[in-house]
């Protein structure tokens, strides 16, 4: 009896070779990671080559060449990993690389070699951090930003150094520009505008003046904290006096409770906002609700599937909800106007449901208090005519119903 090729391959796997379903699993896993990194768009050439190699390995497997397919699978996995890394570098490091190109054009190698070398070292550190944190690129954000700032600095230093080395009025203008910067700093600090370029004494005077202002500010903060403590103590004494009066000042009690409620509401809102960076989300009060506008969650394009890079933000979201243990929670999904209205409505509902499901699975908030709604493209917060506006409209709003307006009991 003649076996079909794929059945023969399965028989070979059972007899002692790798299982049919296993030999290409690592390659397929690497392929999914590359898709999540948008490799088909950002690393198209490497992606297409890896796709063709995967198809060839699949044909070998179907023809019964399990060892050959397994060997090809290792190479295909490496190809997809390479495409994933190239895509991540294109997405996260292109601003740094663009600045380094500008620095080269400004002849930074001649006029600012140390700064340029430092920028390239920081870029290498950022690349290594991105490679080590592929599943969560946000962990490499600090290294990437350090490289970007150093590259931008190299461009500026090269421009100033070039002006100075020319030996004409351009050099003088560069020095005067620096003086203008120092004068602006002195004016902002309330210090006399003393020329500092080439004058170590004047420069040290400016530093000492700023340091004195910082010491004064720190002392003022301590004094303010002590005054707050004294006020709190006086409020305690006032409450005790009211108790001794037998509750005769009911109106005073009501006002004090209102003040306490307002303070607590402000502290809750401040703690909520402190959990998120401006890129992740922002919080604000609307009557008897708190709106947490999340713009940092990432879904697969056209899908309700959350990317792995969104998991830390979901953890923050769970922590945010825990600040309001008795509140009702509604997860609202919103999209931009790209695509049809019906498609956007369905996508917004599915994304809201996906976030709500994640929160219900581990959150201490009762399931009945978390609802999910989708509004499609009907509630934009910015213009859909620009990419930045569309990015703002693709969001998740978390509506926290506290049950009373801020400051009321």
| Residue 370's CATH number | 3.30.1330.60
Instruction: Give domain status of residue 337, yes or no.
Output: yes
**Are residues 139 and 4 located together in one domain of the fold?**
yes
**Are residues 142 and 26 located together in one domain of the fold?**
yes
Instruction: Give domain status of residue 363, yes or no.
Output: yes
**Are residues 271 and 134 located together in one domain of the fold?**
no
**Are residues 279 and 138 located together in one domain of the fold?**
no
- Domain-ending residue, one of 141, 166, 191: 166
Instruction: Give domain status of residue 135, yes or no.
Output: yes
**Selection from 17, 30, 8 nearest residue 74 by Cα:** 30
**Are residues 159 and 29 located together in one domain of the fold?**
yes
Which residues does residue 41 pair with via DSSP β-bridges, in sequence order? Answer: none
* Residue 68 CB partners (closer than 8 Å, separation 6+): 60
Range of the domain at 60: 1-166
Instruction: Give domain status of residue 245, yes or no.
Output: no
Which residues does residue 281 pair with via DSSP β-bridges, in sequence order? Answer: 294
**Are residues 156 and 298 located together in one domain of the fold?**
no
Instruction: Give domain status of residue 281, yes or no.
Output: yes
Predicted confidence pLDDT, tens digits, the chain (409 residues): 343 343 334 344 434 444 545 788 999 999 999 898 888 998 899 999 999 999 999 999 889 889 988 998 899 999 999 999 888 888 888 888 898 999 888 888 888 889 889 989 999 998 899 889 888 888 888 998 898 988 888 888 888 887 777 766 666 777 777 778 778 877 877 777 777 777 777 778 888 877 877 887 787 788 778 878 888 888 887 777 777 666 555 666 666 666 776 777 788 888 888 888 888 888 888 877 889 999 888 888 888 888 888 888 888 898 888 888 888 899 999 999 988 999 999 999 999 999 998 888 765 555 557 899 999 999 998 888 888 888 889 899 999 987 654 444 4
Burial 107-121 (b: 16+ CB within 10 A, else e): ebeebbeebbebbbe
Instruction: Give domain status of residue 109, yes or no.
Output: yes
Read off the tokens for 301.
């394009």
Radius of gyration of the chain (CA): 30
The DSSP symbol for 308 reads: G
**Are residues 157 and 39 located together in one domain of the fold?**
yes
Q: Are strands 370-374 and 328-334 parallel, antiparallel or unpaired?
A: parallel
Judged by phi (left if over 0) then psi (alpha if -120 to 50, else beta), residue 25 lies in alpha
CB 195: neighbour CB atoms within 10 A? 13
- Domain-ending residue, one of 113, 144, 166: 166
Q: In total, how many domains does the chain have?
A: 2
Q: What is the pLDDT of residue 169?
A: 63
**Are residues 134 and 277 located together in one domain of the fold?**
no
User: How many contiguous H segments (helices) and E segments (strands) does the chain have?
Assistant: 14, 5
**Are residues 2 and 151 located together in one domain of the fold?**
yes
- Domain-ending residue, one of 139, 166, 193: 166
* Residue 354 CB partners (closer than 8 Å, separation 6+): 299, 304, 305, 306
**Are residues 142 and 5 located together in one domain of the fold?**
yes
**How many Å from the N-terminal Cα to the C-terminal Cα in the chain?**
83
The rounded distance, in Å, linking the Cα atoms of 175 and 137 is 40
Read off the tokens for 182.
């120092």
Instruction: Give domain status of residue 372, yes or no.
Output: yes
Instruction: Give domain status of residue 320, yes or no.
Output: yes
């Amino acid at each position: 009896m003649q076996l079909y090729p794929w059945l023969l391959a399965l028989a070979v796997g059972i007899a002692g070779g790798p299982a049919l379903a296993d030999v290409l699993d690592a390659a397929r896993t690497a392929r999914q990671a590359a898709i999540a990194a948008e490799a088909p768009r950002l690393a198209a050439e490497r992606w297409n080559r890896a796709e063709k190699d995967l198809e060839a390995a699949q044909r070998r497997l179907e023809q019964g060449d399990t060892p050959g397919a397994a060997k090809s699978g290792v190479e295909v996995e490496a190809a997809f990993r390479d495409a994933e890394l190239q895509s991540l570098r294109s997405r996260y490091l292109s601003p740094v690389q663009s600045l380094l190109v500008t620095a080269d054009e400004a002849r930074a190698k001649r006029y600012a070699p140390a700064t340029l070398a430092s920028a390239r070292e920081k870029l290498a550190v950022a690349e290594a951090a991105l490679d080590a944190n592929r599943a969560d690129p946000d962990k490499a954000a600090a290294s990437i930003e350090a490289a970007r700032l150093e590259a931008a600095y190299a461009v500026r230093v090269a421009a100033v150094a070039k002006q100075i080395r020319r030996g004409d009025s351009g050099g003088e203008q560069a020095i005067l520009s620096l003086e203008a910067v120092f004068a602006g700093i002195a004016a902002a600090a309330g210090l006399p505008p003393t020329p500092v370029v080439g004058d170590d004494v004047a420069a040290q005077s400016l530093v000492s003046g700023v340091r004195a202002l910082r010491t004064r500010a720190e002392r003022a903060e301590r004094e303010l904290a002590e005054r707050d403590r004294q006020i709190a103590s006086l409020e305690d004494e006032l409450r005790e006096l009211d108790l001794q009066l037998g509750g005769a000042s009911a109106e005073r009690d009501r006002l004090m409770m209102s003040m306490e409620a307002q303070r607590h509401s402000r502290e809750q809102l401040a703690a909520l906002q402190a959990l998120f960076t401006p890129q992740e989300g922002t919080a604000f009060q609307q009557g008897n609700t708190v709106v947490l506008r999340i713009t940092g969650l990432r879904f697969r394009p056209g899908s309700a599937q959350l990317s792995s890079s969104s998991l830390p933000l979901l953890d923050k979201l769970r922590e945010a909800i825990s600040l309001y243990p008795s509140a009702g929670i509604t997860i609202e999904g919103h999209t931009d106007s790209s695509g049809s209205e019906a498609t956007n409505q369905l996508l917004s509902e599915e994304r809201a449901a996906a976030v709500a499901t994640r929160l219900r699975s581990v959150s201490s908030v009762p399931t009945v208090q978390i609802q999910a709604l989708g509004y499609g493209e009907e509630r934009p917060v910015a213009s859909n005519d620009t990419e930045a506006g569309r990015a703002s409209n693709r969001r998740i709003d978390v509506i926290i119903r506290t049950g009373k307006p801020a400051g009321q009991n």
